[in-house]
Amino acid sequence: MRIDNIFFLLFVAITISVQSQNQENTDVSYVDYVNPLVGSDSSFELSNGNTYPAIATPWGMNFWTPQTGKMGNGWGYTYDAHKIRGFKQTHQPSPWINDYAAFSLFPETGDLKINEDERASWFSHKAEISQPHYYKVYLADYDVTTEITPTERGAQFQFTFPESDNSHILVDGFFMGSMVKVIPEERKIIGYCRNNTGGVPTNFHNYFVIHFDKDFETVQTWKSEENSKVENSHLNKKLEAEGYHVGAAISFKTKDGEIVNAKVASSFISLEQAELNLSREIGNDTFNETKAKAEATWNAELGRIEVEGGTLEENRTFYTALYRVLLFPRKFYELDANNDIVHYSPYNGQVLPGYMFTDNGFWDTFRAVFPFFTIMYPEYLSEVMQGLVNTYNESGWLPEWASPGHRDCMIGSNSAINIADAYLRGIRGYDIETLYEAIVKNSNHKGPVSSVGRFGAEHYNELGYIPYDVGVNENAARTLEYAFADWSVSQLGEALNKPQSEIDLYKKRSLNYKNMFDPEIGFMRGKNEDGTWAKTFTPDKWGDAFTEGSSWHWTWCVFHDPIGLANSFGGIDKMRNRLDEVFTAAPTFNDSYYGQQIHEITEMLVGDMGQYAHGNQPIQHAIYLYNWLGEPWKAQEHARNIMNKLYSSAPDGLCGDEDNGQTSAWYVFSAMGFYPVTPGTGEYALGSPVFKKIKMHLQNGKTVEIDASNNSKDNIYINGISKDGKKYSKSYITYEDLMNGSNFSFEMKDQPNKKLNTSKSSRPYSMSSENK
């Protein structure tokens, strides 16, 4: 059970404590560093993040955002847009997945306009404030200012109107089936919306309730049919409408500067539960009280990591990235009348007890987002693991890409990686035996969509790879990801005392990456069923045997065995030389598989870093492999260069798709000076910290300190390391170091120390070196 007021008081206490103990200026609010507009300067053709300003609480069930794009457009808010047509509740994890369960509110004055193109109002970023807990914008066409502040399952709106005899607020239920009902005597509108792009049962509804603090003088509703343009002619005086696309308009007179408030909440369970959510999370609170609670919540979470000694922009970039990491996977559960945790299942349509989380793609987030939770949020991660158990029990599969249910997106069975990492790091409170059963099932079967289970499992398990010529797309990439997942299964099986034969099977399969490597050319490539290499290969061919990248990017995806990969190359020197070439090779590309230059290719080209494509996930860990290859100073150099060049807090401050926080999580880790190349080992390869001092306040009460006091834009290389005052000779740090609250000191210089931590004993874990 949970009592929200207790959590609010706890958040306030943490915030006050963090700010008073660790900030010279106790008036500093971490949210002031965050720019939710980061990544919104994007388009279908070129992604600088593909994000929208999420006005939300951490992992909130609902987000809110201004809507500049048309209803149903995945690019719901783009920075270069000039007009806003609504303020919508959103659950969208990516424009490519698109939104679901969206509805919007919108204020107007003068002639009522319900068509979204006609009603859209000019706005300017000069009259826009965007913070995690608060959004404000001036709608020039109507002389109305809109303000929003969120709760986990609701929000408060504050509309400031001019003097007008014709002021309106629209509630747009959106398309694909919606309902609105106006209850004037209660100053209330209730309804539901059903819009989605898949991944939902047939009884899917998002129920909403909206309470206003002003009487309605006039009420109108509208209904339009599919393929019919919404027109004012659809308006009528009925208090209720239900159909393909419905909405309501309430009208009243306002004085100059008059504020009209709206309290909103929703539920995937019922209208009664939506009312309960509203009562519990907002109740009698004023707009400013809700805003203060949301700010305190964010400051408590952002303040768990303190940074000192960076520039103002580095602070902004860091906390903006941290904000992005704390948005997904979102909570998809609610608290019933008995304060018990329940959820509507996006898998079977039932209301069931326990946790549920969604809007997460493990293909992206296994790399850094979940390893971040393992360190900073083990309690939250335990709840997420409970949600995975529920997903498996309700659908028979693990949610490799969920929004809100299973989606046919990306590849791999990467949930196994984070399940193993969580358990091996000592996180408990969930049914690990069920999860082990689930990942073993994954390894042997294809799921209901190709992204669930393992597409091509029968070939992989028989031959040790997925052939290029058997009709399974992106076969080499799948083989590489399955091999790392198999290593994770073997590690978890060992911890759970599973039969040795089973452990050995998965260890053997984890070496299947070798079947994709061609030592003659030093690249991963597709292989035919008869063992011959596919003839269509070029190192710069995107897609085909790979996923959203080429062999230049995927050759490094042997997370669990970099030394084994080096052996396949013919030695560390050869692998290191090829990794060097990633940054010096001409940025050529072969897009014949796609038939066009996809946006990921464009993002590589404009980055001007050779074949390095940081905007997509497969290669993001690669620079840290230098810690295995005897030249950790190159990891330091590249990490700092990538952070400086490809990241900022500006609307174009991300590169490629943000994808559930992964690209931001890369920055958060890298700015702290280490990165989780191999989730499951509890080891984090060193890079180059951005700040002079970093403090990580852990949930176990310990504080990790990272001191790099002579850090600067020139001093990017580590010249020496000490841990708790003693010389440290590893090119990685460990989970135990962090959980014990260790103090690391980095001596930074402007020239690399090419002898520091280069010995075999300094390397992080590699499967081929287990018995070294």
Spatial separation of the C-alpha atoms in residues 377 and 433, rounded to whole Å: 22
Instruction: Place domain 305-686 in its CATH homologous superfamily.
Output: alpha-1,2-mannosidases domains (1.20.1610.10)
Residue 27's pLDDT is what?
64
Q: Residue 659 — pLDDT band, cuts 50, 70, 90?
A: confident
Q: Check pLDDT > 90 for residue 568.
A: yes
Q: How far is CA 737 from CA 18, 166, 705, 724, 740, in A?
A: 22, 64, 11, 10, 5
- Does residue 544 or residue 771 have the better pLDDT? 544
Place of tokens 């090779």: 585
Put residue 570 in one of left, alpha, beta given phi > 0 → left and psi -120 to 50 → alpha.
left
Q: Check pLDDT > 80 for residue 13.
A: no
**Residue spans of alpha helices (H) in 335-431:** 362-365, 369-376, 378-395, 415-424
Beta bridge partners of 170: 106, 249
Per 3-state DSSP, what percentage of the chain is helix, strand, and coil (rounded to 5)? Answer: 35, 25, 45
Per the CB < 8 A criterion, the answer to whether 401 and 352 are in contact is no
Collapsing DSSP states into helix, strand and coil, what is residue 158? strand
Burial (CB < 10 A; 0-12, 13-18, 19+), residue 447, is buried
> Rounded to a whole number, what is the distance in angstroms from the first to the last CA of the chain?
48
Same fold, 60-294 and 305-686: no
Tens digits of residue pLDDT in 586-639: 999 999 999 999 999 999 999 999 999 999 999 999 999 999 999 999 999 999
What are the tokens at 307?
Answer: 């940074």
Task: Kindly state the percentage of the chain with pLDDT values over 90.
Answer: 95
Residues 6+ apart with CB under 8 A from 164: 109, 110, 253, 254
Of 709, 627, 616, nearest in space to 666 by CA:
616
Q: Locate the domains of the chain by residue range.
A: 60-294, 305-686
Strand 245-254 with 164-172, pairing = antiparallel
To which H or E segment does residue 315 belong?
Answer: helix 312-325
Per the CB < 8 A criterion, the answer to whether 596 and 589 are in contact is no
Q: Residue 18 — pLDDT band, cuts 50, 70, 90?
A: very low
Q: Check pLDDT > 70 for residue 684.
A: yes
Q: Output the CA torsion 225→226→230→234 (10° steps).
A: 0
**What mean pLDDT value characterizes the chain?**
95
Tens digits of residue pLDDT in 339-384: 999 999 999 999 999 999 999 999 999 999 999 999 999 999 999 9
Put residue 281 in one of left, alpha, beta given phi > 0 → left and psi -120 to 50 → alpha.
alpha
Place of tokens 């390869």: 685
Per the CB < 8 A criterion, the answer to whether 314 and 339 are in contact is no
Q: Residue 8 — pLDDT band, cuts 50, 70, 90?
A: very low
Spatial separation of the C-alpha atoms in residues 418 and 401, rounded to whole Å: 14
Render 65-116 in DSSP notation, one character per residue: EEE-SPTT-S----TT--EE-EEEEE--S-TTT---S-EEEEEEESS---SH
Report CA 528 to chain centroid distance, whole Å: 36
Tens digits of residue pLDDT in 164-186: 999 999 999 999 999 999 999 99
Q: Check pLDDT > 70 for residue 758.
A: yes
Strand 86-90 with 103-109, pairing = antiparallel
Of 724, 579, 603, nearest in space to 657 by CA:
603
Place of tokens 């590893």: 730
Tens digits of residue pLDDT in 98-137: 999 999 999 999 999 999 999 999 999 999 999 999 999 9
Q: Which fold has domain 60-294?
A: Beta-galactosidase; Chain A, domain 5 (2.70.98)
Q: How far is CA 24 from CA 27, 295, 306, 698, 706, in A?
A: 9, 20, 12, 21, 18
Residue 534 per-residue DSSP state: P
Q: Which amino acid is at 499?
A: P
Per the CB < 8 A criterion, the answer to whether 298 and 325 are in contact is no
Task: Determine the average pLDDT of the residues in 240-256.
Answer: 98
